[in-house]
């Protein structure tokens, strides 16, 4: 079940909201926990047991770590809990990758069953790891209520595709949160904003990549159209999910941190990753980069730490060679920026920094979205005019003209020029018309959903 579905918008969410607000305060967590487990069970009826096991193991680990705080025993328990979490993630994330590469390398004729990746495992594993680490550091208290910890891990607004919510961010709200009309109204506006971005902008953009790859009349223009289309699609798709997750959380009294901050206005790759998927970047910074020594060490170890983090980032996105190379390449670029590129970019006109960043991001997403290196190489060659194809074709011109309004809207709305955030946008300027605007957006979204069967969330596969 995805947020941008008729089932979720018109059946699941209204029933949960009614049930939640009719439930007495002291039982609201149980109602929300039940709704979250049903939400996950619909998508993963078998792997819900894996979710349960993660909660139980880390629940007892957290209690034991707090009991032995300051002693070597606490560190041993933490290591065991993290080993369990990483092992579960590694089994489901990397088994197929290693099996495929091993059988290919050894020329083995072995039939093996592929393991399906449980939805949301990358997100909820990182969340539960942050819990036990924060308890060990003394930054959070061990949760004694098993249901409350289970709610933190399974909370449906952020369970499937983030943002990655740190335990200490909502520790207090798990036991004592306020519900206000203003918060609920903000949540509705934020959720509807996400729906707009996802259904009316991201989904139509999603067809351009496939059209470019399988064009009957390939051209340089068509390859650029496909690459730019995907670059915009993944931003609107993922940021829309974050918007909807943050909005849903606010409806139930939770305040999740922001996950995107207009990354395409960045003037360096360093700045880009401070604005894109911020919850993941902050997680790696606090739980991997800094423990490794961060930048407070020798220059060689500093660059080693950056390399480790970005290798891990690539693997987090998927156990496949394109993701691994994608992560390593960004690690190398960030090291070069630390060495000298950032200083050069800061002295250069801002336009240079923007073009530099957008070019790297655009070509990196070609690699990111390709099923193989040969596909990535073919698309890249096509964009650079290295294939025996014309600069333009009738087919590419047709699709460019057909999608020009969509592309212009996506480009404009990916910048702060027209801010889609309900805090300071058209919603605020036309405050009296907010209810009408929300209803009109819902009507438009519903029409798009009924008319189209294309409605994936790209980050579900991570």
Residues classed as catalytic: 317
Residue owning tokens 């098993």: 146
Q: What is the Cα–Cα distance from 79 to 65, expressed in whole angstroms?
A: 10
DSSP state of 12: I
**DSSP secondary structure letters along 299-338:** HHHHHHHHHHHHHHHHHHH-SSHHHHHHHHHHHHHHHHII
The CB-side HSE value for 31 (13 A sphere, CA atoms) comes to 16
Q: What is the Cα–Cα distance from 63 to 45, expressed in whole angstroms?
A: 29
Report the sign of the C-alpha dihedral through residues 243, 244, 249, 253, in that order. positive
What 3-state DSSP class applies to 37?
helix
What is the C-alpha R_g of the chain? 23
Pull the structure tokens for residue 79: 């290591």
What 3-state DSSP class applies to 165?
coil
83, burial (CB in 10 Å: exposed 0-12, middle 13-18, buried 19+): exposed
Count other Cβ atoms within 10 Å, centred on residue 285.
14
């Amino acid at each position: 079940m995805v947020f941008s579905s008729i089932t979720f918008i018109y059946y699941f969410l209204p029933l949960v909201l009614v049930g939640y607000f009719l439930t007495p305060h002291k039982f609201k967590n149980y109602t929300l926990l039940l709704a979250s487990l049903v939400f996950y069970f619909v998508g993963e009826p078998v792997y819900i047991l894996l979710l349960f096991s993660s909660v139980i193991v880390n629940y007892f680990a957290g209690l034991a770590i707090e009991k032995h705080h300051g002693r070597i025993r606490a560190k041993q328990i933490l290591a065991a809990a993290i080993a369990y979490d990483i092992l579960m993630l590694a089994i489901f994330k990397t088994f197929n990758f290693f099996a495929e590469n091993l059988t290919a390398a050894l020329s083995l004729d072995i039939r093996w069953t592929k393991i399906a990746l449980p939805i949301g495992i990358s997100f909820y594993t990182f969340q539960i790891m942050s819990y036990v680490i924060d308890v060990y550091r003394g930054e959070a208290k061990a949760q004694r209520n098993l249901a409350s910890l289970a709610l933190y891990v399974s909370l449906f607004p952020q369970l499937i595709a983030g943002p990655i919510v740190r335990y200490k961010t909502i520790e207090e709200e798990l036991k004592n949160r306020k519900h206000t009309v203003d918060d609920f109204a903000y949540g509705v506006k934020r959720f509807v904003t996400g729906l707009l971005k996802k259904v009316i902008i991201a989904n139509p953009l999603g067809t351009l990549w496939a059209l470019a790859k399988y064009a009957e009349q390939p051209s340089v223009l068509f390859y650029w159209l496909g690459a730019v289309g995907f670059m915009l699609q993944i931003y609107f798709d993922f940021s829309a999910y974050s918007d909807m997750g943050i909005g849903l959380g606010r409806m139930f009294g939770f305040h999740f941190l922001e996950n995107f901050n207009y990354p395409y206005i960045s003037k360096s790759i360093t700045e880009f990753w401070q604005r894109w998927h911020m919850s993941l970047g902050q997680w790696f910074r606090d739980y991997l980069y800094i423990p490794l020594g961060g930048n407070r060490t020798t220059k060689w170890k500093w660059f080693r730490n950056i390399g480790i983090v970005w290798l891990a980032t690539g693997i987090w996105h998927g156990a496949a060679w394109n993701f691994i190379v994608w992560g390593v390449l960004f690690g190398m670029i960030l090291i070069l920026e630390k060495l000298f590129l950032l200083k050069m970019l800061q002295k250069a006109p801002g336009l240079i920094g923007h073009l530099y960043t957008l070019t790297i991001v655009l070509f990196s997403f070609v690699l990111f979205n390709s099923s193989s290196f040969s596909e990535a190489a073919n698309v890249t060659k096509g964009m650079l005019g290295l294939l025996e194809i014309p600069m333009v074709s009738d087919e590419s011109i047709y699709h460019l003209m057909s999608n020009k309004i969509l592309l212009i809207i996506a480009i404009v709305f990916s910048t702060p020029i027209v801010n889609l955030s309900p805090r300071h946008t058209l919603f605020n300027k036309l405050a009296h018309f907010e209810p009408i605007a929300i209803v009109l957006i819902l009507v438009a979204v519903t029409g798009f959903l009924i008319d189209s069967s294309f409605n994936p969330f790209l980050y579900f596969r991570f």
